[in-house]
Amino acid sequence: MKIAKIDLDKNNMLIVDDKKYFVLHKPKDNTVKLVPANCPHRGGPLQYGVYNEAERVICPWHENKYKPCRLAKNKLPYVRVRKMCALFAVKHVKA
Ligand code: FES
């Protein structure tokens, strides 16, 4: 079993089996989720999006807004210890 670790202060994206995920950090409750980085609309790079005051992620391509819970439907499971996340049972990881 491979284990990948990412430093949340240094990385906001990782690639698992050629699929991109980004670190969705909700400052309000300090939660982190690793969610697919491709926008549901046309695959825009959500890792470059903005998290607005209404707690929506705004895609940089067409500015559609998404609730974090919608993006988190396909999140990766992980263990978080302070500023580090560890993923388990992944085949191929690039940070
Ligand atoms: S690709 Fe994200 S809003 Fe269109």
Per-residue pLDDT tens for 48-63? 999 888 889 999 999 9
* Spatial distance between the Cα atoms of 50 and 19, rounded to a whole number of angstroms: 21
What's the number of CA atoms in the CB half-sphere (13 Å) around residue 37? Answer: 14
Number of domains the chain is built from: 1
| CB-defined site of ligand 1, < 6 Å | 39, 41-44, 59, 61-62, 64
pLDDT confidence of residue 17:
79
Structural domain of residue 53, as residue ranges?
A: 2-94
Q: Write down the pTM of the prediction.
A: 0.79
Q: What confidence tens digit (pLDDT) does each residue in 10-68 have?
A: 888 888 878 898 888 877 777 888 899 999 999 999 999 998 888 899 999 999 999 98
Ligand 1 atom, smallest distance to 60 CA: 2
Mean pLDDT throughout 69-78? Answer: 86
How many A from CA of 39 to the centre of ligand 1?
6
CATH number of residue 70's parent domain: 2.102.10.10
Ligand 1 atom, smallest distance to 43 CA: 1
* pLDDT bracket for residue 89 (50, 70, 90): low
How many A from CA of 41 to the centre of ligand 1?
5
